[in-house]
Structure 1
């Protein structure tokens, strides 16, 4: 008497390895995709003030209007697109909830969803639990970057949605402005939505983020997801933003009403401060992530591992194919022998097999020790 669609939904490999790592204090844990920085003080103070002032009641289901107005201004200033606060923005309990609400809104039985792989684990169950069919694109041959030609090959008359995620989790690769325009040119005249997960948009190191939502022809067919978890070190506050045409936001808001009612009021007041008061905290965090990215990339290259240099987020995705292990076996063996926790690539679909994801959202001290241990493991590991 369980929904049969749940039978093929499994706990993410990220959580499996992270759970094992938590049991041993000597483990260098490089699994979790969350900043090691604390939430900036001015944001925390806004949350505390909201509690002290008894701002603890339900808000509007779509989110406080002043927060939606701040989000509209912030996104326009950062990425050049304009969504109306009153009916084109929904405040969600994290971007992950936004994924779920969006897919349940636009999908129906038999719809097809094109998903570039490897991919964040929520996309597949969000698709299948809606009765839709995931259609995968293997991006590894193109350096883990999807392009218009690859999407075109997968389009059918059943295609309802194309999911874009850039910068990408797990690879850290992103798409250029021209690549986004090419995808827009392909899709602008088709009855297909784009679900664009841009949660890592603030964490780009060598270029500016370009959102597909800023292309006028795509606004009516795009659902843009963003949030404060990664950029503002607010993972536990669970605060996301969905931006889309009013007809889509209206339906997503219905779903939110009957699932969570609204996002946490405390988190909303903290987010309002985050979006209206800019300090140097974000720049300093981004600068530190870039140093860590460069350090881990150089260390992996010196170990002889094949890896594409990430342009954003805080992940790096080296190949382990030469060692002959399945990615889960490699991760478990590394954890057992050297007490380093990484995520097996197959946590991000079968197209991630043969790789591991390393999160560099940890201190340089931990990254250095983790890299030393990984290097020892690599040097003595032979093909089985």
Structure 2
């Protein structure tokens, strides 16, 4: 008899983003560009890598403190104070996790019980629905509407009820590049306070906001004590493989998060935490250059996509562009993305994977642009071939 698997594991599929990378790699040595999975193809900062190497050679190779090396927790607190004017207590309010992915799972398991509801905006980063299910909760979806990916306040208000325990906010947003406005965050904050709901915010793209400052819901009146803020190393420091993330939360929530984190992973890689601690001391100029770099990449790719027949929904943050393929004569995102890999060598992500109802994304695909200029130039050349069939 085969092993009986859990009911919850049957409620979601594998990662479509990573599936597209596997399909791309299966092509072997054929020329092409992977614009599906959001990892940079250029080096991480040298000073950060050298700090991690020094830690390894200095035998920082055993377990760090479960909730994070002291050096990193203090670096997170200092950087938070520098950018947002509020210094969380590194001993009572910060937890280091194995990437923002584990951080989200630990946060949900720490505050959600079976039978609770978790509000998730769609299109969503594909982990959020399964995370809610694995924590025993029921996800309740609220749609962000193109072209500006705004929510309907009446729809959001109707989603809150006595069973609502948490709302997940991803700003800047993956896959759309939406940056939630202060007005939108205030509307969410008001509902959280009315219904005693925890805001869990994924702010991994906090330094990729192209117009104006990054706004944290934790900094709005009445929200510091009911917000869990998640960020990490992967995107800002071009080190997606290091798996270093962190959570900032009030002490009571942090106590629960640390217990869950301990039994999920014990702790993040000790020498890499030392590299991360050094990176968080980079001067403000580093972040300004990073934002300008990605703004240039965004503008380049958006122009190429418009030129080749895609409808582009302009992103205001992160490093993704959501597009519509209807103008190219397609109404099936799955078929289109497979065809694009096979015939033109460009991997992207089907939009349906970001929606509860796949029909809502059937004409959408997501491109990422966190690549070297020469990679994006190659992508442009391949995409221009679409006009030739």
Give, in angstroms, the shift of residue 124 of structure 1.
0.5
Task: State the aligned residue count.
Answer: 380
Name 2:175's counterpart in structure 1.
170
Unmatched 5+ residue regions in structure 2?
Answer: none
The one of 335, 353, 366 aligned to 2:375? 366
- Unaligned regions of 5+ residues in structure 1, if any? none
CA-CA distance at 1:145 after TM superposition: 3.0
Instruction: Confirm or deny that 1:12 pairs with 2:18.
Output: no
* 3-state secondary structure, aligned to 2:366: strand
Query: Aligned-pair distance for 1:192?
Result: 0.7
RMSD across aligned C-alpha pairs, in angstroms? 1.7
Q: Deviations over 1:76-103 (max 9, x none)?
A: 2112333211111100110100010011
Distance 2:147 2:168 in 1: 17
Q: After TM superposition, give the deviation of residue 204 of structure 1 in Å.
A: 1.2
Shift of residue 109, structure 1, vs aligned partner: 1.4
1:301-380 pair list within 5 angstroms: 301-322=306-327, 323-349=329-355, 350=358, 351-377=360-386, 379=387
1:287 match: 292
Q: Tell me how far apart the structure 1 counterparts of residues 204 and 235 of structure 2 sit (CA, whole Å).
A: 7
Do the aligned residues in 1 keep the contact of 2:323 with 2:364 (CA within 8 Å)? yes
> What does 1:1-384 correspond to in 2, within 5 Å?
1-23=4-26, 24-25=28-29, 26-141=31-146, 143-146=148-151, 148-278=153-283, 280-322=285-327, 323-349=329-355, 350=358, 351-377=360-386, 379=387
Q: Deviations over 1:361-380 (max 9, x none)?
A: 11222223323322332x35
> How far, CA to CA, are the matches of 1:76 and 1:147 in structure 2?
33
Task: Answer yes or no: is the 8 Å Cα contact 2:169–2:199 preserved in 1.
Answer: yes
**Alignment check: 8 A CA contact 1:117 1:352 kept:** no
**1:44–1:90 CA distance, 2 compared to 1 (3 A):** same
Q: Give the C-alpha shift of residue 275 in structure 1.
A: 1.2
Structure 1, 75-84 or 232-241: larger mean CA deviation? 75-84
Q: Structure 1 residue 65: deviation in Å?
A: 2.2
| Structure 1 consecutive aligned stretches of length 4 or more whose deviation exceeds 6 Å | none
Q: Which moved more, 1:34-43 or 1:279-288?
A: 279-288
Question: CA contact under 8 A between 2:350 and 2:365: conserved in structure 1?
Answer: yes
Secondary structure (helix, strand or coil) at the match of 2:211 reads coil
User: What is the CA–CA distance in structure 1 between the aligned matches of 2:211 and 2:144, rounded to whole Å?
Assistant: 21
- Please say if residues 115 and 135 of structure 1, whose CA atoms lie closer than 8 Å, have aligned partners that are also in contact: yes
Cα contact 2:160–2:195 (8 A) shared by 1: no
Displacement after TM superposition at 1:195 (Å): 0.8
